[in-house]
Structure 1
Amino acid sequence: MTKNELAKIKASGRWPVKISDFYRHYFFVVLPLGCTAVGAIELYSGFKFHHDDLKVPGTIQLIIFVILSILVVKRLYQNQVFEKHQVPDASVENIKHVLKSLGFRNVRHHKPGYFVCTTRVSWFSWGEEITIIFDDNDILINSRPNNQPITILRDRKNIKIIMTALRSSEKAVA
């Protein structure tokens, strides 16, 4: 990550969108949106041509896939956005110690002022990449999947665990 990219992340609070994001992550919105369109066409045909056998399945399909589309879009958005937390005494050594004590792998600190580490593979996740950026007295933290489009709340759990550990280590030092 360059200093320019780092400045953009600090200003916007989110990862910049790249072309690779479309085939790695955003492509997975196509399936629920396509099924939503099929349900809408099915429902439209049921009402236009008075086919009662298309109205109920079309309505059910439309409702299910609209909800699924919303959930997928929400999760993809959450993977792009950094959470901002105030940690007044966040130091490089403290964060490195906390990340290693929590069992994160490949903990690396980069000179421009950010950390990157990864999680282990589990039954529901192929691993996440966690990025922590220093921004004055705040830190920006993001956890997003490495090789899969969406996780089932594992990234939120990672952020919560890290912030709890940082706040408890801050109290222990004080």
Structure 2
Amino acid sequence: MVTVGMIAAGCGSADGGEDTPTTTSAAAPEESGNPWDLPVEQRPALFDPCAEIPVAAIEEGVGSEVEPAEQFKNSRPGELISCGWSNREVNVVVLSTWKSKDEYLADPAFRVLDQNTRHLERPGLRITDNRSDPIDNCVQLYFTPRGTIWTGVDLTTSLFEFNGQQFSDTCEVLTKILPPMADLFPQGDVQ
């Protein structure tokens, strides 16, 4: 949703007997309320999952303890920020980037599972890594005023176990574990 700012023009005149010129300022340029319309360097700071999602929210969703997974951590402000958590059954990765929905749809590295998914009353995109089977990898994307929020789940056991169930569907696992994290994501979906 694009919000257009007000265009302001001002007129002024002076009191008195002399003729004074009337000045009119030029119209201010239109400004979009959508940060996605701004150059990347002018957009707000990306959502930082490392600082803004406590481990308790991950554990609440997963239903068991997790440990930080340093191999999933990246900090490139303005470009990509990611964090991950793991336990014996699952890897959970949350990242933010300014990569748009159209860029994900066009990226051959991903397979679209649901282009117009609605999850937790929010529009989004559900994808999987093109090299993986959706049985072991699922990603939910939300497009927010602070970037694209990517939440991915990988099941790590040979029998794709989750909470004691074998051959769990990874997208169902993601749907189950996402609410405590998503409550912390920026509101105001923009794409």
Task: Classify the TM-score, shorter chain.
Answer: 0.3 to 0.5
User: Which has a greater percent of helix?
Assistant: 1
TM-score for both structures, normalised by structure 2: 0.32
More strand by share: 2
Larger Rg: 2
Give me the TM-score of the superposition, normalised by structure 1: 0.34
